[in-house]
Amino acid sequence: MSAERVVVDKNILRRWVERDAFVELLVKTLEGDQEVMELLHMSNVNAVLRLGYNDHGPVHARIVAGAALELLSILLSKGVGLTSLQQGTAASLEEVKFILVTASYLHDIGNAVHRENHELLGALLAKDIVDRLLPQVLPQSGPRRFRIRQEVLSAIYSTAMEVKPLTVEASIVRLADGLDMSEGRARLPYKLGKHDMHSISALSIKRVELSPGEDVPVEVTVHMSDLAGFFQVERVLMPKIEGGKLKGLVKIKVVDQRGDKVLVLS
């Protein structure tokens, strides 16, 4: 369980792989699947090379998966219930981890087709992939694998800003997607090399941290070099929380470059 601040960075998933045998197996299976890796590559071809946006490929997928697992750990430590376990679509914590990690890896593969409606496209593309992966990673799931698959697809679709997540799990993936925003990795796409509010705000986010909160289960601390970074918080993080099942369970702290707390958002 998480008990301290965790930085949302490129190492966040590796730490889980090193200490959790199921996550290690799942990540190895995902990254050993040729179609998964090629779709992630094509997502970046379209997003970065053709549209001039920031990263939407394998690195982003790993960061989102690690952040989702950290959010899960904190929420469990605070006694927050999980929709899939409560409603019987999953029967174990491993199955919940499958939902979160797989949805995190696949949530942007729709970009391999087009940026427009990529969340819906991604959910459709993911169906056959999840059907292929489930027997490899969760052979004991039996017919329940179809329920688990639908939870993955629902979580992918729910990363769309205008879609309201139906589960805590989908809400976790939705928020985790928005947390990959430090050092220019903003989830509000911006044109690389262009100097406007989008790019200035993206480059102002220096570090994002997750930790258990005192008065709410989860605390997100966003360190900025300039308050222009608040544009990303306002346009990405706040809607990601407001539109899902984590509303009221997450607090955002914005901290300036001197370490002074500037703003707290619940």
Neighbour-count burial for 229-254, b at 16+ CB within 10 Å, e otherwise:
bbbbbebbbbebbebbbbeebbbbbb
Cα dihedral sign, 247-7-194-55: negative
Share of the chain above pLDDT 70, in %: 89
Q: Work out the end-to-end distance of the chain between its first and last CA atoms, rounded to an integer number of angstroms.
A: 23
Q: Give the pLDDT score at 196.
A: 66
pLDDT at position 43 over 70: yes
Q: 179 Cβ partners below 8 Å, 6+ apart?
A: 8, 63, 64, 67, 208, 210, 220, 237
Question: Both tokens of residue 105?
Answer: 């890896």
Specify the 3-state DSSP secondary structure of 209: strand
Report the alpha-carbon distance of residue 139 to residue 247 in Å, rounded. Answer: 34
CA 115 to chain centre: 18
- 118 phi, psi to nearest 5 deg: -65, -25
Report the alpha-carbon distance of residue 221 to residue 261 in Å, rounded. Answer: 9
Instruction: Give per-residue pLDDT as tens, 219-263.
Output: 999 999 888 788 888 888 899 998 899 999 999 999 987 766 666
Q: 57 near 88, Cβ under 8 Å?
A: no
pLDDT at position 2 over 60: no
Please provide the DSSP assignment of 214-255 as one string. SSSSEEEEEEESSGGGHHHIIIIIHHHHHTSTTTTTEEEEEE
CA torsion 38→43→44→49, rounded to 10°? Answer: 110
Q: Give the pLDDT score at 1.
A: 40
Please provide the DSSP assignment of 175-208 as one string. HHHHH--STT--SS---TT--SHHHHHHHHEEEE
Q: 226 Cβ partners below 8 Å, 6+ apart?
A: 200, 204, 257
Report the alpha-carbon distance of residue 130 to residue 137 in Å, rounded. Answer: 10
Q: Give the pLDDT score at 232.
A: 83
Report the alpha-carbon distance of residue 169 to residue 121 in Å, rounded. Answer: 20
pLDDT at position 188 over 70: no
Which candidate, 61, 23, 39, places its Cα nearest to that of 137? Answer: 23
Instruction: Give per-residue pLDDT as tens, 62-84.
Output: 999 999 999 999 999 999 999 99
Domain spans of the chain? 6-265
